[in-house]
Amino acid sequence: MIEFIIDRTIYSDACITKSIYALSKDYDCQRSMSGTKESVKMTPRDTSVSEEGARHAFLQMLNDYKAREIIASETKDIRTILYAKAFADCDDFDEEVEQ
């Protein structure tokens, strides 16, 4: 079993949950909280998996989802504008058809 202590002021619940879910095929995981620290205990289902391999897989997933969260936050306004523009064009098209 490998235990990670994760600072929840750095990684959100969503980052941790998505990371665990992505690895759930290969690992059994247990979570617990103590203040702003979260403990994640991972047990590989395949006994040939090294502790270092498990550690690498989890940290890679955790950082991947953290980067995705940052990118989503930074591009939220741009996506909103693009959606509004895309649907505004559709509304204009519907009005022209009705006339």
Q: What is the CATH number of the domain that holds 40?
A: 3.30.310
Q: Is residue 37 part of a domain?
A: yes
Token reading at 36: 């702003």
**Which domain, by its residues, includes 25?**
2-74
Q: Is residue 83 part of a domain?
A: no
**Positive or negative CA dihedral for 20, 25, 27, 33?**
positive
Greater pLDDT, 39 or 85: 39
Please tell me the predicted confidence (pLDDT) of residue 91: 53
Token reading at 62: 């955790």
Please tell me the predicted confidence (pLDDT) of residue 47: 84
Please tell me the predicted confidence (pLDDT) of residue 57: 92
Are 6 and 32 in contact by the 8 Å Cβ rule? The answer is no
Q: Is residue 12 part of a domain?
A: yes
Please tell me the predicted confidence (pLDDT) of residue 89: 62
Q: Is residue 93 part of a domain?
A: no
Global pTM reads: 0.74
Q: Is residue 95 part of a domain?
A: no
The residue behind tokens 């395949």 is 46
What's the number of domains the chain is made of?
1
- Mean predicted confidence (pLDDT) in 82-90: 78
Q: Name the DSSP class of 13.
A: H
Q: Is residue 99 part of a domain?
A: no
In angstroms, the CA 35 to CA 32 distance is: 10
Token reading at 34: 């103590």
The residue behind tokens 């006339």 is 99
Please write the tens of the pLDDT for every residue from 44-80: 988 888 889 889 999 999 999 999 999 999 998 888 8
Please write the tens of the pLDDT for every residue from 15-53: 999 999 999 999 999 999 999 999 999 999 888 888 898
